[in-house]
Each structure stands twice: as C-alpha cells, then as structure tokens.
Chains A and B, each alone.
Chain A
C-alpha cells in the first residue's frame, strides 16, 4: 500500500511515517507541493495524505492540479485549517476525506484504509460485529448471516452506510417504504424498536436523537473523534 505523505512539518512526517510503516503502509514523504506532483507523475500511489499549508504550492492548488491531470487516487486532507468553508472547498476540489489537526492516528489509519477500499470498489460497511456484504446484499453478524426482516434490513442499511451521522426519519422512510405514503410516521419508531432488539449483543446500538433522527453507534469504540 503505497502512500504519499505531503507534509512540511518534519517532526510530524517522522512520527506519522513510522506509524504508517508499522501498519503495513509504504509511505513516501515530501514537504513541498511541486515535489508532491512530481512524485505522483512518476509513481503509482494508492492514496495521498495531503496537508493544505505547504510552501511553494498550496495544498488546495496541489489538489486542483492533481484532478486537472486526471489523477484520481484518493486524497485524505490533513490540516490545521478547520473552517467549514475550507472543508467544503477541499471536498469540492476533489478531496475524499478531511481530518483536522491535531488528529488521532488510529482514526487517520482507519479513514485511509476505508478510502483505499472504496477506491478499489470494495464497499465495506461495518459496525460492531455487523458487516454489510454489498455483493450479496445481506448483513453478517460475526461472519454469519443475520436473521433480519426486509424492512429492518432496509433501515439498518440506511444507517450503516452513514457511519457516525444521524439519519433523519424522512430519509429512513424513503429508504424503507420508497414513495409508498400509506404508512404512518410512527412506523419508523416501531421498526427502530424491533431493530434495537435484533441488534442486542452485536456491538452495534441504535441511538435516538429526538427531533433529528436515528444514529447507529459502534459499541466497540471505533467511533470518530469528537468535534473540536
């Protein structure tokens, strides 16, 4: 797994490079935007970790030029700039994910792996001991098929494919019943109640955010970092 680490803080490069190497990645480090583009032209990387504040060529410019050159490899932007505006700009210009400094190395590695899997066409959604097998369209619990009704499955699918984010009742209704408007709005609550029982002991829990929606929680502690 070849990873290009573009970061101009040498201490961070040293520490992060070692962490990545110990996790089975083969990192190539550079501290300059122009150098990063040169590396991308001459070698195939599986992913790029890109800092935005770079000397010479700004990280957002690197991102723009990469995409202009037709380089489609996944990019994880890592930056101390945390404003929503820049986050949106970064994602608009083609970043695949965004982490704010200081970050948790576990989270960085997890997100990097998820990006690489996605870029290889492997959609892999997990929560606790649950896994969604996209090829067969069924849920596995500790590797075995989960006994679950179709509507509960549709609800769980809508939740597991939005990791760390609550899903509104309207979106859940659409995912379960489609355009069929004949069901009562409390049908979602009843399904949630049944799904909760079904998920007992699976390492995944269903949290109600009244007025917002439902949130699937990984009880094994693979959650993302708190907001700043």
Chain B
C-alpha cells in the first residue's frame, strides 16, 4: 500500500518536473530572444504552445479516462475497478474501490435484513392463517386456538413495531437533533411509560440517577433505554426486581439497566446484538439489542452485557452503556473501547464479569 503510494507520488513528481523544465526552458528562451528580437520570441512561443498543449493532454489523459469510466457506471454498480489508467491514479482508484466495497457490504446487509424480516413477519401470519382455517373448518377447537391466535398477533405486532423502530433509528442516526438531555428526567419518563407493564408483573423497580446532562439526541437515548428496559421486564418473573442506574464517572457517563432474571450463556452473548437473535427461551423478536447497539455506536458509546455475580451465583444481567466525556461526539462515529469500571453496589458486594 505505502509502496504503491510512493510509486504514484514518484511518477507524478516526474511528470510535474518535466513540465516545469519545459516551461522554464521555453520561458527563458522566449525571454532571452524577446529582449533582442521580439518577433522571433513570438514565433518561438507560437511553435512551443502546441508542444505544451500536447504535453498537458498527455499528462491528463489517464485522469480523463478514469473520469469517463466512473461516469459511465450505473448507480448501483459496485464492482471494483481492475484497470488503473496510470500509476499516479492508483490511490484514487483504491479509494473508490474501498468506497464501493463498503457500499456493496451495506447493500448485502440490507438485503439479508429484508430477507430475514420477511421471513420473520410471514411466519406469524402463516401461523395465524393456519389457526383461523383450523377453527373455521372445525379441525381446531376455538376455545384453545383463539387465545393462541392472540399471542401470535402480539408477536407479529411486536415485530412490526421493532421493524418500524429500526427504520426510524436509521433515519434519526443520520439526522440526530443534538441537545443537552437531562438523563434523570428521561429515565423517569420512560419508566412511567412502562408503568402498566411494571404493574401487571408487580415488579419492584428503582431508579438511581445522578443529575447528569448528556449532549445527545433525546429520542435516540429514549429508544435505547426503552429497548433495554423492555428486555429486562420481559426476562423478569412476576414480583422480581429490576432497575436503572445513571451516574457520571471521571471521564464517562454510565447508564445501567439491571435485572435479577438469571444470566446469559457466553455462546449467545455476542450473537444477541445481531438482528433477529434472541436468548434461548426468549420471547422477544430479537431486534431490540441490535437497535441498541446501532444507537450506541452512532453516539460513540459502548454497549456491553454482563452477568452479575452475587455470592458465587449468577443472579442477573447488567446492560451497560458508556458515553465518553466530554460530550463532543457527533453521529456516525464508531464505538471506542471503554475502560473497565467498578460496579455500582446494587444491594451487596457485587462482582461483574463478562457473561
């Protein structure tokens, strides 16, 4: 890579040097002749102009060739350029190829997502159709099947909501509205939103939040917290406890959603951030954590899942989001590695280890 760049630069320097020598030589000759015989200087200049014109054209031809090649490509064409018109254009061709490779990867990822989403969305619809036809034909008992149909509908609804959320997140990440977000207030509002669900499962919920303000997009952070909280609530048994902790550390801000719903297998931990992956036995549609990851990455934040150990046993999961401070991050960034931080004491001396 560096070697090729060196070659290209060397070749470009040669061409520029040649043009410089010719121009300087001609300029000097015209100047010398012009001082004694002006008409001769004009003749020399007129005779030299085509040579210079030809030389400039010769130097610029590879660039014109590349321009024509790129301009003639279809918008959706992402195959790499195999032929480089001149050695000095290699860095440009390489940069274009990298750009097209990224575009190709993004398209493939989008196509995989659409294929998976279609499958995921059609499955509950197929189940529903089978159930309805079974009931109408009398092959399935209505009293047993109708409640199952409601559960199937809920599954399809959850999926539709998450697909819409995913689409909105993608749009918001590109056009985030940055402002100072009061994290305590935001967390309170999200918890109030979940009150009916919390009440239904009789969960013991707590919010421990320091007065932290973070420069970010309030909708995106809200969506991140909603998804983490929805996961924790879904995994928790009736009457269990869960909570949200927000605190400012020396150079980071930490948002932690904890539950007491058992831990995660090491084998599934990283996979959970992939679309349509859910923990074994999970009832979710498997988009929540991938949405969370996407939001976190867009904010230069990190998202990790840890098993929480108490008295030698795994008791629950901590979902931890960390933002680097000072908050001058902008969207479209990439995640940065966060330092390992000590765990907040939730109820007793607690250890945290990667799940």
Contact = CB atoms under 8 A, between A and B. Distances in A.
Contacts of A102: 153, 157
A210 B161 CA distance: 29
A201 interface: no
Interface string A194-228: 00000000000101111110010110000111111
A217 B193 CA distance: 15
B261 to A, nearest CB: 17
Interface in B163-186: none
Contact of B192 (A165, A224, A225, A228): A165
Contacts of A210: 204-208, 243
Contacts of B198: 207, 209, 215
B49 interface: no
Contacts of A165: 192, 195
A164 to B, nearest CB: 5
Interface residues of B, number: 23
B133 interface: no
Contacts of B191: 166, 209, 212
Residue of B161, B194, B198, B226 with most chain A CB atoms under a 10 A cut-off: B198
Contacts of A225: 196
Contacts of B226: 227
B153 A212 contact: no
A227 B161 CA distance: 11
B202 A209 contact: no
B8 interface: no
Q: Tell me whether chain B's interface is mostly helix, strand or loop, or mixed.
A: helix
B199 A215 contact: yes
B255 to A, nearest CB: 14
Interface residues of A, number: 20
Contacts of A224: 196
B205 A217 contact: no
B328 interface: no
A227 B194 CA distance: 6
Contact of B199 (A211, A223, A228): A223
Contact of B197 (A205, A209, A226): A226
A226 B202 CA distance: 13
A102 B200 CA distance: 19
Given A209-B207, A212-B192, A217 B202 contact: yes
B103 interface: no
Contacts of A207: 198-199, 202, 204
A212 B157 contact: no
Contacts of A226: 196-197, 200
B209 interface: yes
A127 to B, nearest CB: 11
Nearest to A207: B199
A227 B200 CA distance: 12
B196 A223 contact: yes
A209 B206 contact: yes
B111 interface: no
A166 B205 CA distance: 11
Contacts of A208: 204
A189 to B, nearest CB: 14
Contacts of B208: 210-211
Contacts of B206: 209-211
B188 interface: yes
A212 B205 contact: yes
Contacts of A218: 199
A115 B205 CA distance: 31
Contact of A212 (B161, B188, B196, B202): B188
Contacts of B197: 226-227
Given A212-B191, A228-B161, 18 more contacts: A102-B157, A164-B196, A164-B199, A165-B195, A166-B191, A166-B192, A166-B195, A205-B202, A209-B195, A209-B205, A210-B206, A210-B208, A210-B243, A212-B188, A215-B199, A223-B199, A227-B194, A227-B226
3 smallest beta-carbon distances between A and B, as pairs? A211-B207, A210-B206, A217-B199
